[in-house]
Structure 1
Amino acid sequence: MTLKRKEVGALGEKLAVDFLKKRGYKIIQRNFRCREGEIDIITKQGECLVFVEVRTKKSSGFGIPEESITPVKSRKLVDLANIYLQNCSSLPQSWRIDVIAVELKPDNKLSRLEHIENAVN
């Protein structure tokens, strides 16, 4: 079955959430949206708030998923994290931005999932 781009992204995010939960992360929010953009997953690891950008691809053509995080996208993720933090005073002060790269096989099964902590500084 061929998935549309949005469905591929949703599948990648589901796989990322499952991965994080299995590793003890507490999911706080999915798909936080504001005028400036969206954060895919907001989670907590111990006393650290973690903003997660999920990049999903169905083929390795044009590079691997994590290579699509450009300097502009990195700055946008930092801005979005700061917007979220301004509205939530009860959250931990320690935070980071991670990237989860998901590659799917042609049959939509997981080929590779890589969690890159502190991917954006």
Structure 2
Amino acid sequence: MSAQARDHPRPDRRGHIGRLGEDVAADYATSLGWTVLERNWRTRYGELDLVAADGSVLVIVEVKTRASRTYDDPVMAVTPVKLTRMRRLARVWLAGQDRRWSQIRFDVVSVRLDHAAPDDLARARVRHHRGVYV
């Protein structure tokens, strides 16, 4: 590796796009009147993007963000394996909580950022997919 490459690492575009999408999704959840309880909750088994309360309903949210034309809707990238992992992680999260919930719902918030200007969040398109996993 050259000294220049070490001094100026390549920006992590994918990570940056993901963080932007999670910011948009958290703002969206708040605009619905939800309380965001956790963002990027991690264990060695994986990560929950958002854990939120919609009144007495616990909502586990997978955020999928794209700034490319790969998928019409980023929700297409959520696989059955990912949904199963979300459910397992939700159980781990719940085990550490004292509060009980009337219902638990799994949602996907997909965020499409403008390909040419992903940082322009005013141009972001949000789609909310409720109850994607029972």
Give percent identity, aligned residues only.
32
Matches of 1:4 and 1:78 in 2, distance apart?
Answer: 28
Structure 2 counterpart of 1:46:
55
Q: Find 1:70's aligned residue among 59, 63, 79.
A: 79
The amino acid of 2:42's aligned partner reads R
Is residue 134 of structure 2 the alignment partner of residue 117 of structure 1? no
Is residue 64 of structure 2 the alignment partner of residue 55 of structure 1? yes
TM-score, length basis structure 2: 0.83
Runs of 4 or more consecutive aligned structure 1 residues displaced over 3 Å after TM superposition = none
Structure 2 counterpart of 1:107:
117
TM-score, length basis structure 1: 0.91
Question: Deviations along 1:16-43, whole A, 9 cap, x unmatched?
Answer: 1111111100111111101110000110
Which structure has the highest strand share of the two? 1
Matched pairs, number: 120
RMSD (Å), alpha carbons: 1.6
Matches of 1:120 and 1:85 in 2, distance apart?
Answer: 17
- SS of equivalent residue, structure 2 residue 98: coil
Question: Deviations along 1:43-97, whole A, 9 cap, x unmatched?
Answer: 0001001111100000222453100111111111111111111111324141111
